[in-house]
Amino acid sequence: MTRNDIFESLKNIIWQIRPNTDLTRVDEDTQLVRDLGLDSLTTLLMSLAIENKYGFKFEGAPQFTAVKDVIDYIEKVCQ
């Protein structure tokens, strides 16, 4: 699985929880709260979708700022 594969699947997850998101504007530097408007509920939904997709459980509440933070975490866990 490449970094781009993870990025594309993460964009799909974002679209599932925030269907009005313009995915053409999402890149690795996109801020989850400021740019995508994620709140505690949508962050939880995103976390659950990531856990289901990649078959692991987050330890505690994940503290991600940007899309690249999520990708980095998934890469680390799925190595």
For residue 54, which phi and psi values (nearest 5 degrees)?
-105, 0
What is this structure's pTM? 0.92
Per-residue pLDDT at 54: 96
Neighbour-count burial for 53-64, b at 16+ CB within 10 Å, e otherwise: eeeeeeeeeeeb
Give me 46's structure tokens: 């995103």
pLDDT at res. 26:
97
Q: Which pLDDT value is given to residue 60? A: 79
User: Nearest 5 degrees, angle CA 49-CA 55-CA 27?
Assistant: 50
Domains of the chain, earliest start first: 3-77 (1.10.1200.10)
Which pLDDT tens digits describe the chain residue by residue (79 residues)?
A: 899 999 999 999 999 999 999 999 999 999 999 999 999 999 999 999 999 999 999 987 778 999 999 999 999 999 8
